[in-house]
């Protein structure tokens, strides 16, 4: 009998998460309410940063895309502005800039880390540039000290796309507690913790947080939980801006409350799986994923293998071999410069992004999730070795 298909990703949902969701359903409060607020508070405690003596504001949203949009909107990004980000990311990172009528300036990656190229960022700055959006690719922190220094030098805002990066550290600090203006995490189904769909916007800027909370729910100055749980009549509210529908439900937050408790344990399991892959692939014609700097932590959202010059097989054929062996895999990412919208709007060509283009042509994301077993890793390793032969 053929072996069962090994998927690219599966969430790990435990009895505590299930019980919390059931409790939410029985409570009668299933939209944004007490569980969402609890999740926001727990997230601030998890990050636990007091190095600057300023409160971390955590705003739960229904996706990381929503969080990035809210952050840029609150920072005043508008038509005529430019925001610099990497071409090597999912389209959500860039599309939120276009939501606001601003333009995206895409730059290449550092081939050793696959994170945004710091020198390319500085070279791309123009009088229209208002913000930088680094992506912590695969869970490895971008060079935030250098990027923050550039931002200070040029008077730019910094919004971190940390969709892959819980609980990543940079210089010993958790991503989310650095000196950027805002950080946005993702809790999509395949992320390091999940609420099914969801995200968290984190900022120390109280004004940004206030604006994001208002714009998160139709531009209303009071949310439903405030209006419907008061002990005196409190039906009145005002719409102070044309907002969005970006709130996280209590059903989703119920998952997040317990997933967050497991985040550090999940990271240790992912790190162990990545190390097992590294050992299994030693000596093969592949480029292993970069490791975090000494003393720092990689979240290991993705394990991205790249075919080396000595691999006498094209990437697409390599993927076909893996699928033929019942191994799910993916590619992260088809760079933005190859997609018709971004390519045509900005006149982009692969030659403008040689490192991203080469990485894309050689990369494959292998299964990496906490429900994987030692036998699963061995099975993937055997399929990779067979494909390369």
Report, as residue numbers or ranges, the catalytic residues: 191
Give yes or no for a contact between 238 and 217, defined as CB atoms under 8 angstroms apart: no
| DSSP output for 18-38 | HHHHHHHHHHT--SSSHHHHH
The pair of structure tokens assigned to 361 is: 């042509």
Exposure string for 178-213, b = 16+ CB within 10 A, e = fewer:
bebbbbbbbbbebbbbbbbbbbbbbbbbeebbebbb
SS3 content of the chain, % helix, strand, coil (to 5): 40, 15, 40
Give yes or no for a contact between 171 and 147, defined as CB atoms under 8 angstroms apart: no
Q: What is d(CA 153, CA 121) in angstroms, rounded to the nearest whole number?
A: 13
Strand pairing category for 103-107 and 82-86: parallel
Within 10 angstroms of residue 258's Cβ, the number of other Cβ atoms is 20
Specify which residues 196 forms β-bridges with.
Answer: 188
The pair of structure tokens assigned to 330 is: 């993916």
Q: Is 253 exposed, middle or buried (0-12, 13-18, 19+ CB in 10 A)?
A: buried
Which of 163, 43, 157 has its CA nearest to residue 102?
Answer: 157
């Amino acid at each position: 009998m053929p072996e069962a298909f090994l998927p690219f990703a599966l969430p790990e949902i435990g009895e505590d998460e299930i019980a919390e969701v059931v409790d939410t359903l029985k409570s009668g409060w299933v939209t944004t309410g007490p569980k969402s607020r609890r999740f926001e508070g727990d997230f601030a405690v998890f990050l636990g940063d007091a190095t600057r003596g300023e409160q971390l504001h955590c705003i739960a949203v229904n996706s990381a895309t929503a969080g990035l949009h809210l952050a840029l909107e609150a920072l005043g990004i508008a038509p005529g502005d430019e925001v610099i980000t990497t071409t090597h990311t999912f389209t959500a990172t860039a599309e939120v800039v276009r939501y606001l009528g601003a333009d995206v300036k895409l730059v290449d990656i550092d081939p050793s880390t696959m994170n945004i190229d710091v020198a390319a960022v500085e070279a791309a700055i123009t009088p229209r540039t208002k913000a930088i959006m680094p992506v912590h690719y695969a869970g490895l922190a971008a060079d935030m000290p250098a990027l923050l220094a550039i931002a200070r030098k040029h008077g730019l805002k910094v919004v971190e796309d940390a969709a892959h990066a819980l609980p990543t550290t940079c210089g010993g600090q958790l991503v989310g507690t650095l000196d950027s203006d805002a950080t946005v995490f993702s809790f999509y189904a395949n992320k390091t913790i999940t609420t099914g769909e969801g995200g968290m916007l984190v900022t120390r800027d109280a004004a940004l947080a206030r604006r994001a909370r208002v714009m998160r729910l139709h531009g209303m100055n009071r949310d439903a939980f405030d209006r419907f749980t008061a002990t005196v009549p409190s039906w009145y509210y005002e719409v102070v801006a044309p907002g969005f529908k970006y709130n996280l439900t209590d059903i989703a937050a119920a998952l997040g409350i317990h997933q967050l408790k497991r985040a550090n344990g999940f990271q240790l399991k992912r790190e162990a799986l990545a190390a097992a892959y590294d050992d299994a692939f030693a000596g093969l014609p592949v480029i292993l994923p970069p490791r975090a700097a000494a003393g720092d932590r990689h979240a290991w959202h993705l394990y991205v293998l790249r075919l080396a010059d000595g691999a006498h097989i094209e990437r697409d054929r390599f993927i076909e071999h893996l699928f033929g062996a019942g191994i799910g895999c993916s590619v992260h990412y088809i760079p933005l410069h190859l997609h018709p919208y971004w390519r045509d709007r900005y006149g982009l060509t692969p030659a403008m992004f040689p490192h991203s283009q080469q990485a894309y042509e050689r990369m494959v994301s292998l299964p990496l999730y906490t429900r994987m077993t030692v036998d699963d890793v061995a099975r993937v390793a055997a399929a990779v070795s067979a494909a390369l032969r």
